[in-house]
Amino acid sequence: MAVWDRVAVVCAGLSVFSAGMGIAQPCSADAAGRALEVAVDLGVQDRGTTGIGEPLLGEGYDTAGGLVAGAGARMLLPVGYGGFFHHGVSTRISHSAGWGLGLSDRYGFAWSAVDLAYAFRTNLPCMSTPERQLFLTGVLGVSGVVANAGTGLQKDPQTERERRIASERLDHLALGPVLGVGLDMHMGAAFVGLAFDLRQAYALGHGPISRSYVSSAALRFGFQLEP
């Protein structure tokens, strides 16, 4: 018996025991078939970038927070016994450019990322019902980034010349790992959830930027289809 089969059998056995003792709700497994998740998300992002010096410090090039918006899809296939586990491919595109998502020019970088990752999802059966399914998902993959430098937060008028030069010199591409985890509640075909991810993007080329470290948290809204 495969390891996932054993875990599923143990979980199912515990659920039957707890239900019989009257101390927990009976476990409810996920549907056993394949699933396609399509979602949009909106959240907050924090970024730190190396290679930035005076007089640009504090102008949004070295560190910055802001809104992040994204959209993505996951194709998941069942693995193991009972439909508790799924795994597959996850893709996501996201964009961040200050607190105005680029509607204002007060930002250090317009940060656009494309992620391609492996995803593993497990049903949380003893916290679910047939009407409300809870899922925990982890993703691990690669993120490609296009970082377009702006004219900064414009805190100091005396740095206008330096910020204008930075907006031309600091554009770069980057590549690195992304690690994420999410908790979703499915109600029929629709779901809502929370997603957290960490990424490290290494700049390509020979510019002054070395790498960026980015963390984000977002609300997800979407639908699950069963093709």
pLDDT above 70 covers what percent of the chain? 85
CA–CA gap between residue 87 and residue 80 (Å, rounded): 10
Q: Which of 45-54, 72-81, 152-161 has the lowest mean pLDDT?
A: 152-161
pLDDT in tens, 39-69: 999 999 999 999 887 888 888 889 999 999 9
The predicted structure's pLDDT at residue 153:
85
pLDDT score of 9 more than 50: no
Q: What is the mean pLDDT of the chain?
A: 85
Name the CA dihedral angle for 100, 101, 103, 107, rounded to a multiple of 10 degrees.
80
Q: Which domains does the chain have, with CATH numbers?
A: 34-225 (2.40.160.20)
CA 216/CA 47 separation, integer angstroms: 9
108 membership: H or E segment, kind and range? strand 107-123
Condensed to tens digits (0 to 9), the pLDDT of residues 30-40 reads 455 889 999 99
In this structure, the strands spanning 63-79 and 211-225 are unpaired
Q: Which of 140, 156, 55 is nearest to 90 (CA)?
A: 140
Percent of the chain with pLDDT over 90: 56
At 214, is the pLDDT very low, low, confident or very high (cuts 50, 70, 90)?
Answer: very high
Distance of CA 224 to the CA centre of its chain: 17
Predicted confidence at residue 80, as pLDDT, reads 77
- On whether the CB atoms of residues 119 and 139 are closer than 8 A, the answer is yes
97-147 per-position pLDDT tens digit: 999 888 888 889 999 999 999 999 999 988 888 889 999 999 999 999 999
Instruction: Report residue 49 as tokens.
Output: 């970038």
Higher-scoring residue by pLDDT: 106, 184: 184
Q: Which pLDDT does position 32 carry in this prediction?
A: 55
Q: Which two tokens stand for residue 5?
A: 């089969």
